[in-house]
A and B are shown apart, each in its own frame.
Chain A
């Protein structure tokens, strides 16, 4: 299908914005932000085309585009979308305009550079979700690093430099090893099939023997586990989240972390099922530790933003558990929970950012009794908190429920352990909410906080609406995932039962032609 290159249009449309921004005067902040907002909104509207014309009955990649890029090495510009990546793609285009709006007051210096980096970041994220060529994926994957590095480093808080460097180095170490694994797999597959290609769909057909798979999987999994982040590789996350400016945190939590879990399902598990199967004890254990550890640490945080950061560790642990349940409920729950987490944690960061803009502090101890002063804020904050906790009727519930269902089917013990997170997350979120919003007003400054402005309300309304839509009509979303997830699982299982050769001659691995 080589019709309208809609995916490329959506992905590269922000670059048009970048070109226009270069021509606008540096001082004209409102115009710069306004134009960026318009560009991201148009991009979101175009991306809806993908949703409306998405065919939920086929497991194949849709809207595919294929162009030879470097033919000597079998590298192509090959993009496409299926039920697994569809909503992650849309989540990205949806969150971008919101981020621009929430930077309206927050970002005051070097606005031009900021919005340019945001748009380049959008290109990188969208590209990574649709890339079906390992080389292309790697390029987009790394491309995201550059703008995020600057967003944290320039517009971040006190310890921004430390956080930015830590973020980049962690990510880079993982991804360079993945590059070697990509190359090794490329030469292995080339030697075996005679066709040297980075085309993901063709590489899916190649099943290397276990002793090779395990190394390749390890390199991929390490890279993605850092991004997720899985315990014990999560230490960059609290720093990056806390130091990043609000829009940066929203993108980081909303989209970048999903890159890791998406990478697992699309690449690490899809390409190396035997190794993935063998890694279940390890990954599930780490996920369970992450779920509980993240929640416990979150409970003890004096800083609201750090609390939310650690809650991400917990939530993403649950996503990984869902994916590793390897049944339809678990995987769909995992994907659904990625979206939920993107929305609810994004929303939480926005709310915290709004508080911070008013009080210039994020310590729970500095607040208290805000409900009386800012009732509208309190209402929104409540909804977002409950979504994050997983209240039935809101989106979070569906995701968590499916994950536990899937985990229970796979192994009831997992579900039992993971279910404690429901209690824990209710505890830390609601306790935080209580300390911040209820009780007597202890601080004089808190009496004069302004309530939400129209801009801020308009920012939150779409997110809250989606909470309800996703909580009440999950089938609309799940129907679009079913076929792809089914196909993924069927392929995964059929590969597992395949009899892979145990040994291959050494020279074949080394790519001797």
Chain B
């Protein structure tokens, strides 16, 4: 047996988040019916502190808690994504939920808990920790999705998400159980040792287990065939929560994919990539084709996020250093542009229930600030240079060509050209159609303006000078090579 090795530094960012989460809950409870001043900024303070801790720990490698937790560059990198998304979402939510949600403090507390759950996922070296993190994240997000308690769409989406999420958790658990039954351990490191012992052919049960685990992960990625929940949930949930789900939750799901298949189930990886490649093709194509038909922007972005999951899976399929670092790079750029896009939509939504494309008619010139931002984000999502969306796709398709998957790259770029149609349609409504009056966006408060400007700068910066970030991603996955 390994020694217990308690090392709280290895989970320090999560601890900070949990402490601040409870602080927010306490604030909510103490305030009672009164409104609490600025819970968003308490949340931001907690997240900033977590970033500092994470940055302090960056570069070190810590193995702790009976080898169940691993803090390394990959963990730190993903933590930066999660926390960055968290800060942005908190800043954007500040004004958005103020008059719509009674339990503001709890809203932010749930975001902090969800992020700490994600952080546990990426630092797991054991299926038990992975599952705990997954549940911590998922349960928080289920509740966040139905924060608009009086809106039937919000509640409906949340229930759908909960039911399908539970199914996928059950798949995952069954897979883990099979693996445990075979190896007598849930720890990745021990599993690898056991794999080494079987040099011959693998038992069927292990392949089944791997398939079940993959199904659980695919559902969280919202890839075909487990993507059906995404449009309804994305449309119904509060827009900032949608942004959170589309970015951080997806990043966490990819963290899960990388950890599980590059550590614990590494010997099975070559069986897996074939499946993932097939899923990637269907995910990209189905996501893009469905998005073409959408009239509601949030639904459109939901399908677009499915398509982007497909691109990310292409990076995984290539299994090269470029490909895996491209996943990390793309997750960053994807988070930047999606958060930005949802931020703009959130402001345009104003008093509307949900944003239809036609609600945007002619507003681009009326509100040039938001219009300009939307141009940046939409072109980035469509993958047109000089934006981070382009460099991200470039790295991904480069890796696919490098690994010999030229057909996959061709399918990918054709998909990316198709996607331009619906991203540009947003701009058609914003700029080419005549202004028809209607609701103007809510006042842009400094917090959300700052958040969105930062996103736009990030998109352009990593579009023109991607070098530094890419080097960082290469370093983060270097332990694999």
Q: A residues touching B (Cβ–Cβ < 8 Å)?
A: 26, 69-73, 110, 113, 138-139, 142-143, 145-146, 149-150, 153-154, 160-161, 164-165, 168-169, 172-173, 176-177, 179-180, 183-184, 186-187, 507, 509-511
Contact = CB atoms under 8 A, between A and B. Distances in A.
A510 B385 CA distance: 26
17 contacts: A70-B467, A113-B365, A142-B390, A149-B427, A154-B431, A164-B428, A165-B425, A165-B428, A168-B420, A169-B417, A179-B394, A180-B409, A184-B406, A187-B401, A509-B404, A510-B402, A510-B403
B424 A168 contact: yes
Given A139-B390, A165-B424, A165-B428, 13 more contacts: A26-B368, A161-B433, A164-B428, A169-B421, A172-B420, A173-B414, A176-B413, A179-B397, A180-B397, A180-B409, A184-B406, A186-B401, A511-B404
Contacts of A168: 420, 424
Given A168-B420, A177-B410, A180-B409, A142 B384 contact: yes
Interface of B: 365, 368, 375, 379, 384-386, 390, 394, 397-398, 401-404, 406, 409-410, 413-414, 416-417, 420-421, 424-425, 427-428, 431-433, 466-467, 470-471, 474
Contacts of B384: 142-143, 145-146
Nearest to A169: B421
B401 A183 contact: yes
Contacts of A69: 467
Contacts of B420: 168-169, 172
Contacts of A511: 401-404
B365 A110 contact: yes
B417 A142 contact: no
A165 B421 contact: yes
B414 A73 contact: no
Nearest to A164: B432
Nearest to A513: B402
Q: Which 10 pairs across A and B sit closest by C-beta, in order of nearness?
A: A510-B404, A176-B413, A183-B401, A139-B385, A153-B432, A511-B402, A172-B417, A173-B417, A176-B417, A142-B385
Contacts of A176: 413-414, 416-417
Nearest to B404: A510
Contact of A70 (B379, B424, B466): B466
Contacts of B428: 153, 161, 164-165
A180 B406 contact: yes
Given A146-B379, A149-B424, A183 B431 contact: no
Given A146-B379, A176-B416, A510-B403, A138 B385 contact: yes
Nearest to A139: B385
Task: Report which residue of B379, B401, B409 has the largest number of chain A beta carbons within 10 angstroms of its beta carbon.
Answer: B401
A505 to B, nearest CB: 12
A142 B384 CA distance: 6
**Overall SS of chain B's interface:** helix
Contacts of A142: 384-385, 390
Contacts of B413: 176-177, 179-180
A150 B397 CA distance: 28
A317 to B, nearest CB: 26
Contacts of A172: 417, 420
Nearest to A113: B365
B316 to A, nearest CB: 18
Contacts of A71: 467
B405 to A, nearest CB: 9
Contacts of B410: 177, 180
Interface centre among B402, B403, B404, by most A CB within 10 Å? B402
Contacts of B401: 180, 183-184, 186-187, 511
A15 to B, nearest CB: 12
B481 to A, nearest CB: 12
B345 to A, nearest CB: 20
A169 B420 CA distance: 7
Nearest to A511: B402
Nearest to B429: A161
A302 B417 CA distance: 34
A291 B64 CA distance: 74
A72 B471 contact: yes
A248 to B, nearest CB: 14
Contacts of B409: 180, 183
A70 B470 contact: yes
Contacts of A180: 397, 401, 406, 409-410, 413
Contacts of B397: 179-180, 183
A107 to B, nearest CB: 13
A188 to B, nearest CB: 10
Contacts of B368: 26, 113
Contacts of B427: 149-150, 153
Nearest to B379: A146
Contacts of B385: 138-139, 142-143
B281 to A, nearest CB: 15
Contacts of A507: 404
A113 B432 CA distance: 13
B285 to A, nearest CB: 15
Contacts of B379: 146
A507 B375 CA distance: 41
Nearest to B411: A180
Which among A26, A169, A177, A179 has the greatest number of chain B C-beta atoms within 10 A? A179
B386 A143 contact: yes
Contacts of A153: 427-428, 431-432
A110 B427 CA distance: 15
B326 to A, nearest CB: 11
A69 B404 CA distance: 25
Nearest to B385: A139
Contacts of A146: 375, 379, 384
A172 B402 CA distance: 23
Contacts of B365: 110, 113
Contacts of B416: 176
A166 to B, nearest CB: 10
A507 B384 CA distance: 31
Contacts of A143: 384-386
A240 to B, nearest CB: 14
Contacts of A150: 427, 431
Contacts of A149: 424, 427
B330 to A, nearest CB: 15
**Most chain A CB neighbours (cut-off 10 Å) among B404, B414, B425, B474:** B404
A150 B427 CA distance: 9
Contacts of A154: 431-432
Nearest to A69: B467
B414 to A, nearest CB: 7
Nearest to B403: A510
Q: Output the residue of A110, A180, A187 with the most chain B CB within 10 A.
A: A180
A309 B234 CA distance: 45
Contacts of A138: 385
Contacts of B417: 169, 172-173, 176
Nearest to B405: A510
A138 B413 CA distance: 14
- Residue among A143, A146, A177 having the largest count of chain B Cβ atoms under 10 Å: A146
Contacts of B474: 72
Contacts of B431: 150, 153-154
Contacts of A110: 365
A238 B401 CA distance: 36
Contacts of B386: 139, 143
Nearest to A191: B402
Contacts of A510: 402-404
A96 to B, nearest CB: 21
Nearest to B413: A176
B69 to A, nearest CB: 32
A126 B474 CA distance: 34
